[in-house]
Amino acid sequence: MTTTEEASRSDSVRGGGRATGGQAALVLEDGRVFRGAAYGAVGETLGEAVFCTAMTGYQETLTDPSYHRQIVVAAAPQIGNTGWNEEDDESGKIWVAGYVVRDPARRASNWRATTTLPEAMQRQDIVGISGIDTRALVRHLRTRGSMKAGIFSGDALADTDELLGRVTGQPSMLGADLAEEVSTDSVYTLEPAGDPRFTVVAVDLGIKTNTPRMFAERGVRVHVVPSNTSIDQILELNPNGVFLSNGPGDPATQDGAVALTQGVLERGLPLFGICFGNQILGRALGRDTYKMKFGHRGINIPVIEHGTGRIAITAQNHGFALAGEQGEQFDTPFGKAEVSHVCANDGTVEGVRLVDGRAFSVQYHPEAAAGPHDAAYLFDRFAGLMEGGPAAQRKGV
């Protein structure tokens, strides 16, 4: 664990004893209190309460860096029945600030499981709560919106007014600059199984493990670089294209990543972004971002591609979005751009692109970890784009 990660964890979690099944309380900033049993580690954790509608994939959810500083409420009623394994982590650790479940599985039953979910949470000091009415909690968050929250158990329990003061005193997610806290500290490379067709520089704003694997399956060498990498450092790697990853926090704080993206666009390099990367590309093209009421978090969210009418069922995890309307075209310093995708449920912008095709992004997760594979073709689309990119031309690819 890096120094940054240690500092981040100490800010959000105190206590850290083993769960005993004793009393626990979830306190929301509007004063609503849910009482249940300690789950995972015992102590105190603070974060933004959000809900995830995915019925499967809790291990991938908990290890997704995009959930940094968030207390995740599982909408699925039973959690933990497949245990915890050594293969499905989407990063090197659990990133959620806390976990809220209704009916924890009494035993893990899966041939790949090496431990249970609560044991994995205990080892990493993740404070959780179980046995509460998560349906009522999700309905409350849908009505009132995502909000500051805290989970308290063991010695961290106190009277409600004191707990509420701890909850309301924490920083807001609006204005939170978190990408550097989850990014890699140094460059690392994932090689494809055979000879590489292309080289991609992936800017790590909170990248998930499966994303470089998806590139490698398509013959792409991936250099994963820290979020604060400069355009000159990227060019030194002589890439065929640049990828902007998912990540946590408020995209309005990412002036450095926006400037980097503009540098990539100025040089005509093919560019592909997902989730947080979609918001960064949108900002680089002059669009504004805003905080959503309760966001999109799940693996069954329908998205419409404007140009083709194609509908994909997608995995998503975002609490911020780009401003815009379906099919809207607008001028940028890099040429005409358009809103390419929207959510079929609520019209939220789910993708933008330059009309000439050299840069595009989507708000969802085509790496599908966990989730449906409807959007995996976007990696092939990016590979096709790189066949005619500037670096490919220099190398004669």
Scanning the structure block, which residue is given the tokens 């093919």?
Answer: 270
The yes-or-no answer on residue 275 being catalytic is yes
- Partners of residue 189 on adjacent β-strands: 223
Q: Is 319 part of any known ligand binding site?
A: yes
Scored b (16 or more CB within 10 A) or e, 121-135 reads bbebbbbbbbbbebe
User: Among residues 44, 48, 275, 296, which one is catalytic?
Assistant: 275
Would you say 122 is a known binding-site residue?
no
Q: What is the DSSP code string of 166-185?
A: HHHTSPPSTT---HHHHS-S
- What is the spatial distance between Cα 125 and Cα 299, in angstroms, rounded to a whole number? 27
Instruction: Find out whether 317 is annotated in a ligand binding site.
Output: yes
Please indicate if the annotation marks 276 as binding a ligand: yes
Q: Where are any strands of DSSP class E within 160-286?
A: 188-190, 198-203, 220-225, 241-244, 271-274
**At CA 64, angle to CA 62 and CA 65, rounded to 5?**
120
| Inter-axis angle of helices 255-266 and 276-284, nearest 10 | 70
Structure tokens at 65: 């860096």
Residue 276 and residue 248: Cα distance in Å, rounded? 7
Please tell me which residue in 68, 140, 296, 365 is annotated as part of the active site.
365
CA distance 377 to 314: 12
Residue 295, annotated ligand binder?
no
Active site residue 341: no
Q: Which amino acid is at 378?
A: L
Is residue 247 marked as binding?
yes
52 is catalytic: no
Annotated binding-site ranges for L-glutamine: 66, 247, 249, 276, 279, 317, 319-320
The annotation places the binding site at 66, 247, 249, 276, 279, 317, 319-320
Residue positions annotated with a catalytic role: 275, 365, 367
